[in-house]
Amino acid sequence: MKRRIFLQAAGALGASAVVPAVFARDYPSKPIRIIVPFAPGGATDTLARAVAQKLAQMFDQSVIVENRSGAGGNIGTEVAARSPADGYTLLMAINSHVVNPSLYKHLNYDPIKDFKPLTLVATAPNALVARPGFPAKTVAELIALAKKEPGKITFGSAGVGSGSHLAGVLFDSMAGVQMTHVPFRGVTPAIADVMGGQVDLVYSVFSAVLPLIKSGKVQGIALTGEKRSPLMPDLPTISESGLKGYNVFSWFGLLMPANPPEAVYRKLEKALLEVVRDPGLKKRFAKQGLDLVGNTSDEFARFLKSDGALWAKVIKANNIHVD
3-state helix, strand, coil in the chain (%, to 5): 45, 20, 35
User: Do 212 and 134 have their domain in common?
Assistant: yes
The CATH number of residue 307's host domain is 3.40.190.150
- For residues 224-246, give the mean pLDDT: 94
Q: Is the pLDDT score of 2 beyond 70?
A: no
107 shares a domain with 34: yes
289-185-142-152 Cα dihedral, nearest 10 degrees: 170
Check whether residue 222 and residue 284 sit in a common domain: no
- pLDDT for the residue 207: 87
220 pLDDT above the threshold of 90? yes
Alpha helices in 157-296 (DSSP H): 163-175, 187-196, 206-215, 262-276, 279-286
- Domain match, 134 and 200 both: yes
List the one residue out of 1, 50, 108 whose CA is nearest residue 294. Answer: 50
Question: Is residue 26 helix, strand or coil?
Answer: helix
Domain that holds residue 72: 30-124+250-317
Residue 275 belongs to a domain? yes
Let me know if residue 278 belongs to a domain. yes
207 shares its domain with 155: yes
Residue 262's closest CA among 270, 254, 274?
A: 270
| Residue 12 located in a structural domain | no
pLDDT tier at 321, thresholds 50, 70, 90: confident
Single residue among 214, 241, 268 that ends a domain in this structure: 241
Domain boundary among 217, 241, 265: 241
* Res 68 pLDDT > 90: yes
E strands, the chain, where?
A: 32-36, 63-67, 89-94, 115-130, 154-157, 180-183, 201-205, 219-223, 249-257, 291-292
152-175 pLDDT tens trace: 999 999 889 989 999 999 999 999
pLDDT the model gives residue 23: 52
Examine the pLDDT at 9 and tell me if it is beyond 60: no
Q: Is 38:67 a contact under the CB 8 Å cutoff?
A: yes
pLDDT range class, residue 182, cuts 50, 70, 90: very high
User: What is the CATH classification number for the domain harbouring 177?
Assistant: 3.40.190.10
- Residue 147 and residue 100 share a domain: no
Number of domains in the chain: 2
Look up residue 82 and give its DSSP letter.
T
Per-residue pLDDT, 22: 53
Residue ending a domain, choose from 199, 220, 241: 241
Mean pLDDT of 290-297: 94
What's the confidence (pLDDT) of residue 4?
41
| Ranges of H-type helices in 86-138 | 96-103
Angle of helix 163-175 relative to helix 139-148, nearest 10 degrees, comes to: 70
Whether residues 225 and 134 fall in one domain = yes
